[in-house]
């Protein structure tokens, strides 16, 4: 079910501002899910990002 390419109708954002996500726009079987470029979520001013790193 992994797509071979990104649909052309998706607006391309700079790599550091977007991420790929499976999105559901309608009720139905798994085939209704779409793999799309979406804006990265941004934390509000009271929160921060944590980066997880594997142990060395």
From residue 28, how far is each of 3, 24, 35, 46, 54 by CA, in Å?
Answer: 18, 9, 15, 37, 37
Question: Model's pTM, two decimal places?
Answer: 0.46
Structure confidence by residue, pLDDT tens digits, 7-54: 545 555 565 778 888 999 999 998 899 998 888 887 777 777 777 888
Distance CA 47, CA 43 (A): 6
The SS3 assignment for 32 reads helix
Domain locations in the chain as residue ranges: 11-40
Distance CA 12, CA 15 (A): 8
């Amino acid at each position: 079910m992994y797509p071979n390419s990104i649909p052309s109708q998706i607006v391309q954002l700079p790599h550091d501002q977007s991420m790929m996500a499976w999105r559901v726009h309608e009720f139905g079987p798994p085939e209704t899910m779409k793999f799309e470029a979406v804006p990265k979520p941004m934390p509000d001013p009271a929160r921060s990002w944590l980066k997880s790193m594997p142990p060395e």
